[in-house]
Amino acid sequence: MKVYEAGIIIGSVPIVQIMLKDFKEMKLDVTLRSALLESLLTMAEVALDKIEYLEGSKIVFSIESGKITNFSGTEQIIIAYAIVEKVPKFEKLLSSDFKPRLRYLLNEFIEIYEGRMYSEVSQYEHFKINLITTFGLLSEEVI
């Protein structure tokens, strides 16, 4: 299963992400996608239950969410996500492979950055290496 994009979103803001160079050509706006993803998750959790993935015809958004406290003590929703290639029996791979990786990234990010101001996203650039290594990508493959 190919990983096209992975990242961390806090309060609808893409904090840090990696994207395969060939996926960038799809011209998807990261900020709009992040806001839409968080809105869908919030709506679904209120009306239904926790969402683990969103399925399209060619890609799957794998999602792990939690809470993080900012510098003023306010809790915010934090989302670790991966956009992956849809393959046969992807549900099994998501639960056995991608969900644990996303949970690991979410916990690692919270442990390192709990209590910060999340509006200055440049301070999280070095977390990209965690995304790259967690998904076994090569740094020259991503932007």
Per-residue pLDDT of the chain (143 residues; tens, 9 = 90+): 788 888 998 887 889 988 876 665 455 566 566 666 666 666 556 655 666 777 888 888 888 889 999 999 999 989 898 888 888 888 888 888 888 999 999 999 999 999 999 888 889 999 999 998 888 765 556 65
Compute CA distances 2 → 22, 44, 102, 104, whole Å.
Answer: 12, 27, 15, 19
Query: What's the CATH number where 111 sits?
Result: 3.30.450
Residue 88, in any domain of the structure: yes
Residue 111 located in a structural domain: yes
Quote the tokens at residue 21.
């160079």
Residue 50, number of CB atoms within 10 A of its CB: 10
pTM over 0.75: yes
Q: Domain of residue 17: give its range.
A: 3-138
In three-state secondary structure terms, 142 is strand
In a domain, 104, yes or no: yes
At a CB cut-off of 8 Å and minimum separation 6, what does 54 contact?
Answer: 37, 40, 60, 61, 63
Q: Give the pLDDT of residue 112.
A: 95
Counted domains in the chain: 1
pLDDT number for residue 40:
65
Q: Are 83 and 4 in contact (CB under 8 A)?
A: yes
143, part of any domain: no
Residue 112 lies in a domain: yes
Nearest to residue 54, comparing CAs of 66, 67, 38? 38
Integer Cα distance of 98 and 107 in angstroms: 14
